[in-house]
């Protein structure tokens, strides 16, 4: 099985490559359309700024390519946010696979630290992505923006209010948390994705 990991203007992609490699996946880190289209699975990971990341994707036509993918595709962290309709981060129009707004954590709660950084639980688990994962399992987050709850929400986290920890539509899945940094739980989720 060949996995294309999309290379773009974002950080933390290398740890996803290492995680896929540990699970025995043959991967290529690429922004070349022919390699992405020819892969069995696609992962769209990263940590970064929504507006500058969208500029990079649009300049290379990768925004349209990602939206048209037919193979199982997994967005991670800012990858999830860019798969949504719009992000408040840089007032960016995004890819629009999920018709969901991405909003900044509100800072009117003095007890709420932003970015959310660390472990939090996931509940309301749906889809085969979470096979073998217990309700309330803990996963690792680093982010300042979150996707609202929607009909595509398949896992929920509560941090200053409930939001989408994961989304699913057709052949597209996405997690706000980092499965590659979430220990055995994250490893199971990545393995489930590779087995879809």
Given the residues 17, 89, 178, 187, the one annotated as active site: 178
Q: Could you give the CA distance from residue 196 to residue 72 in angstroms, rounded to a whole number? A: 7
122-155 in b/e burial notation, b at 16+ Cβ within 10 A?
Answer: bebbeeebbeebeeebbbbbebebbbeebebbbb
Q: Give 10-residue mean pLDDT values along the chain (196 residues).
A: 90 88 93 96 92 94 97 97 97 97 84 91 97 98 96 96 97 97 97 96
Please report the pLDDT score of residue 47 as a whole number: 84
| pLDDT at res. 13 | 85
Tell me how far apart the alpha carbons of residues 97 and 26 are, in angstroms, rounded to a whole number.
26
Predicted pLDDT at 95: 98
Q: What is the pLDDT of residues 102-152, one digit of tens each?
A: 999 987 777 788 899 999 999 999 999 999 999 999 999 999 999 999 999
Tell me how far CA of residue 68 lies from CA of 16, 29, 61, 125, 168, in angstroms. Answer: 23, 19, 11, 26, 15
pLDDT value of residue 106: 81
Angle between helices 183-194 and 13-22 in degrees, nearest 10: 70
**Structure confidence at residue 111 (pLDDT):** 78
Pairing of strands 73-76, 41-44: parallel
CA distance 153 to 174: 10
pLDDT of the residue at 63: 96
| Predicted local confidence at residue 11, as pLDDT | 72
The pLDDT of residue 179 is 97
pTM, two decimals, is 0.95
Q: Is-catalytic flag, 94?
A: no
Residue 180 bears catalytic tag: yes
Domains of the chain: 2-194 (3.40.50.880)
**Is residue 18 annotated as a catalytic residue, yes or no?**
no
Of 77, 84, 89, 168, the active-site residue reads: 77
Among 135, 168, 180, 187, the active-site one is: 180
Q: What is the dihedral of CA 39, 174, 178, 156, to 10 degrees?
A: -160
């Amino acid at each position: 099985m060949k996995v294309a990991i999309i290379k773009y203007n974002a950080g933390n992609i290398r740890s996803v490559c290492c995680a896929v490699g540990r699970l025995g996946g043959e991967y290529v880190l690429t922004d070349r359309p022919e390699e992405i289209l020819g892969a069995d699975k696609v992962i769209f990971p990263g940590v970064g700024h929504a507006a500058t990341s969208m500029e990079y994707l649009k300049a290379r036509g990768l925004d349209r390519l990602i939206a048209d993918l037919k193979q199982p595709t997994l967005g991670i962290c800012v990858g999830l946010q860019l798969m949504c309709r719009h992000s408040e981060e840089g007032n960016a129009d995004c890819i629009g696979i999920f018709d969901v707004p991405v909003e900044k954590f509100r800072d009117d709660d003095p007890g709420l630290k932003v970015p959310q950084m660390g472990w939090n639980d996931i509940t309301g688990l749906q889809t085969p992505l979470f096979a073998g994962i217990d309700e309330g399992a803990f996963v690792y987050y680093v982010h300042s923006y979150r996707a609202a709850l929607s009909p595509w929400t398949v896992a929920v986290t509560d941090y200053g209010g409930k939001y989408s920890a994961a989304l699913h539509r057709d052949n597209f899945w996405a997690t706000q948390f980092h499965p590659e940094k979430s220990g055995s739980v994250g490893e199971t989720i990545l393995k489930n994705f590779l087995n879809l």
